Homo-oligomer: A and B are copies of this chain.
């Protein structure tokens, strides 16, 4: 017997037929003798519809009212899944965030979970009940519904798993696991059996949109063993109920990964834009003067490259922002130009950031050099490079994205055998 959390995303509960299929997955785990809590998202498209209504009502709407409107999507799915489970003879009950309660801070629209009373759910398990929980939401200190931000149901699931001491948290989605890279770009991409939390964090934030970044952070902190697996497979196919190695990708502590590869995967993020400030005064406080105003304008700055200046007085500063924010960023920078002191702004949109990720890099030299050589061999020009302990990110021109991903995937031996 194990205690497990099962989370199903919007495409997995898009209509009643799919909800029935989800119920069969739940039934399989219940009949295996497990204690099961289920976390659901809104039916696919519902959240977008609700968000659009709040925007039509007023572009500058109140986040507390946005939350009251948008949280209804998950509430509906939870009730419907409970009904279907009951019709299959399973003792199920739906719960909303305010009932358990799942407590959050007051940051409506992007709240963080502060506390979950796991005993509420554990008591239900004792009564043989399957708890079906509306994801993406909790109860703020103002006694109002607070939502966790888009994709928040993943975070709900991991937080609940931590609160009840679950043996694992299964994130069911429309893909069957985490791949070495995007299979639409590189058909030779392989599904990973395991990936460490740290690597997944890099994969998630770099554009492999399988899991919300915050949910991975939370899983890492609380060491929640998290499976990414498909809800579209036959719930009763052989191996689906395997308690140790179910089909999918296990995100876990690196110690659980015995044969660590040097490189685990290749991620990419499109629509990056590069901004270069030429001949910036090289003095203390200049970075703050540049990036402070950008942050205040809610522009997400990603790669930042600053070279040591030749003479210690002037330097070039390069960084990337999403292409959609480029015009806004340039306007902000023109405004602070007198204060910062630089000669010119140069910018370029439509770029791509390709990243090589792997915990094994820590102990292997030459990983970066291999990437640079492989890209050079294909004639791909490198615009900027940033590195961390477990990743190398390379900014290149947009049209070379797919070629670069395939090249790197191959050079590190990630292609299917």
- A-side interface residues toward B, CB under 8 Å? 16, 19, 50, 53-54, 56-58, 60-62, 64-69, 72-73, 75-76, 78-80, 82-84, 86-87, 93-94, 96, 98-99, 143-144
Q: Does B16 contact A53, Cβ atoms closer than 8 Å?
A: yes
- Cα–Cα distance between A68 and B80 once the two chains are bound (Å): 9
B65, B86, B94: which contacts A94 (Cβ < 8 A)?
B65
Q: Does A86 contact B61, Cβ atoms closer than 8 Å?
A: yes
Q: Does A80 contact B57, Cβ atoms closer than 8 Å?
A: yes
CB distance from A130 to the nearest CB of B (A): 12
Q: Does A65 contact B79, Cβ atoms closer than 8 Å?
A: yes
Given contact pairs A54-B80, A57-B80, A65-B82, enumerate 20 new A-B contacts (beta carbons under 8 Å): A19-B57, A50-B76, A53-B76, A53-B80, A54-B79, A57-B83, A57-B84, A61-B83, A61-B86, A61-B87, A62-B82, A65-B83, A65-B86, A65-B94, A66-B79, A68-B78, A69-B75, A69-B80, A72-B75, A99-B144
Copies of this chain present in the complex amount to 2
Q: Does B84 contact A16, Cβ atoms closer than 8 Å?
A: no
- Cα–Cα distance between A67 and B80 once the two chains are bound (Å): 10
CB distance from A106 to the nearest CB of B (A): 15
Q: Does B87 contact A60, Cβ atoms closer than 8 Å?
A: yes
Q: Does B84 contact A79, Cβ atoms closer than 8 Å?
A: no
Q: Does A83 contact B54, Cβ atoms closer than 8 Å?
A: yes
- Cα–Cα distance between A16 and B86 once the two chains are bound (Å): 36
Q: Does B83 contact A62, Cβ atoms closer than 8 Å?
A: yes
Given known A94-B65, A143-B99, contact A86–B72 (CB-CB < 8 A): no
B57, B73, B96: which contacts A16 (Cβ < 8 A)?
B57
- Cα–Cα distance between A50 and B78 once the two chains are bound (Å): 13
CB distance from A136 to the nearest CB of B (A): 14
Q: Which residue of B has the minimal Cβ distance to A68?
A: B79
Q: Which residue of B has the minimal Cβ distance to A72?
A: B72
- Cα–Cα distance between A143 and B93 once the two chains are bound (Å): 13
Give the chain B neighbours of A16 by CB distance below 8 A.
53, 56-57
CB distance from A43 to the nearest CB of B (A): 9
Q: Does B76 contact A58, Cβ atoms closer than 8 Å?
A: no
Q: Which residue of B has the minimal Cβ distance to A17?
A: B56
Could you show 14 A-B contacts with beta carbons less than 8 Å apart? Answer: A16-B53, A16-B57, A53-B76, A53-B80, A57-B87, A58-B87, A60-B87, A62-B82, A62-B83, A65-B79, A68-B75, A68-B94, A69-B83, A72-B73
